[in-house]
Amino acid sequence: MKIGFFVWEYPPKLVGGLGTYAENITREFIELGHDVSVFTLNPGDSKTREVFRGVEVHRPLIADASNIFPMFVTDDLKRDGARTSNSSTTSSYTTS
């Protein structure tokens, strides 16, 4: 069976328990013979595709669309992005 996991974090970049759980469960599925792909965030310094301990991991780069679509990116969203990107967690969007 082909299985796709969409998670906030995945090794080697870990913040909390979700990444640890995702790593363990995906390896278990690989051992059972399943084809597993993980889709997670890229803080900007990771490969966009790699095989990590037998699991295919995709970390697409997130584009900053606030300059292209300024009417869709509200001031609240920009503030939240700046606050999130300055913390230890990764953001799903960036600010200028």
The radius of gyration computed from the CA coordinates of the chain, to the nearest angstrom, equals 15
Instruction: Verify that 53 and 90 share a domain, yes or no.
Output: no
Kindly tell me the burial class for residue 49, based on how many C-beta atoms sit within 10 Å of its own C-beta (0-12, 13-18, 19 or more): exposed
Instruction: Verify that 54 and 77 share a domain, yes or no.
Output: no
- Residues sharing a CB contact under 8 Å with residue 7, sequence separation 6 or more, in sequence order: 18, 19, 22, 38, 39, 40
Domain extent for 50: 2-61
Model's pTM, two decimal places?
0.63
Domain count, the chain: 2
Select the more confidently predicted residue: 23 or 90.
Answer: 23
Predicted confidence band at 52 (pLDDT cuts at 50, 70, 90)? confident
Instruction: Verify that 9 and 27 share a domain, yes or no.
Output: yes
Instruction: Verify that 93 and 46 share a domain, yes or no.
Output: no
Query: What is the rounded average pLDDT for all residues in the chain?
Result: 77
Q: What local confidence, expressed as pLDDT, does residue 66 receive?
A: 63
Q: What is the pLDDT of residues 84-93, one digit of tens each?
A: 444 444 333 3
Instruction: Verify that 78 and 95 share a domain, yes or no.
Output: yes
Instruction: Verify that 54 and 17 share a domain, yes or no.
Output: yes
